[in-house]
Structure 1
């Protein structure tokens, strides 16, 4: 968020009696007030800022408990290695051993981390991740060709609802496959959103 100062009318003619009001404006990872979209022949890239994210790590000896609680809490089972599980409102993807990222629409689940923290109680450590990551959705017939120019990931072999971690321009990214060979999401650290966006667009342009 950025803060823009908006001054109200003075209460009196004495300057010290003016009131300073903070008008908060949400900005996207790319620094805009609206999400950016880019279109190329056979390929579209769209910034996706309207997602709440929180990571869940099972505590020692609590893996079974976390798996048991998850379906009633997030509406789906926690996925196995390299997989994604989708509920009606929340999606979970595997991050590492006994670790998952939970995603949900921000407008409906702004307090996602606290909700998960309350639900999992002492069985898991939950960390707010919404402001830590940037997400870009990539869709089109040339998506796989774009990834082949960007990273060592075998995107062509990825199946629906799978996730892999790979380096793109030296950035550690999570890549989710929603539709095999056609629709993917790429998540990277928010501070590197500009670099990832530039890399995606450069690769897309090079495909002609």
Structure 2
């Protein structure tokens, strides 16, 4: 009898996340992070701010910044909008968890399987990004975030450690194209 159970696959279509090492730069497919979009509702600003501080224990990130504490990280994506990250193992249903903390003051949507994430780490990361995007990573501080086009894809870039560690979020449906662009740029730059 055939086994018809579903099994999870990574955005690149494998059982395990991919990792590429190219001349001192590591490109890692990250699959252990849950992701939700959080947006303040109109005329609920005070209630929203109070809920954010009570639920997360920290102020939500200012424009182009990242904030975090405990299991959660918040990064700004637009006016009164943030993406919220947490470990997938403990926050698989992140949207429901966050929604419970905000009630009617926020709109929350599940984003985990809509996006793919690649982390780039190493000394040559800046050189790689110079071939990928017009984003000046040298000016993006640790804890900074920005939108950028990479290989004709709208992406979010987070600076985890200036000059050494960056996360790139792109559309999951284009994970293979984004991965190809990152690896090709690394091979060309390094």
TM range (shorter): over 0.9
Contact 1:54–1:127 (Cα < 8 Å) also in 2:
yes
Higher Cα Rg: structure 1 or 2? 1
Residue 42 of structure 2: aligned partner: 60
Match of 2:126 among 144, 154, 177: 144
Q: Is 1:43 aligned to residue 25 of structure 2?
A: yes
**Whole-Å separation in 1 of the counterparts to 2:46 and 2:128:** 39
Residue 193 of structure 1: aligned partner: 175
**Whole-Å separation in 2 of the counterparts to 1:123 and 1:22:** 41
What's the CA shift for 1:111?
A: 1.3
What's the CA shift for 1:76?
A: 2.4
Q: Is 1:96 aligned to residue 78 of structure 2?
A: yes
What's the CA shift for 1:21?
A: 5.5
Residue 86 of structure 1: aligned partner: 68
**Count, aligned residues:** 190
What runs of 5+ residues in structure 1 fail to find an aligned partner? 1-6, 8-19
1:42-100 C-alpha deviation (Å, 9 max, x unpaired):
21100001111000111101223222211331232210100000212110000000000
SS at match of 2:5: strand
**Whole-Å separation in 2 of the counterparts to 1:95 and 1:26:** 28
Higher relative contact order (CA 8 A, sep 6+): 2
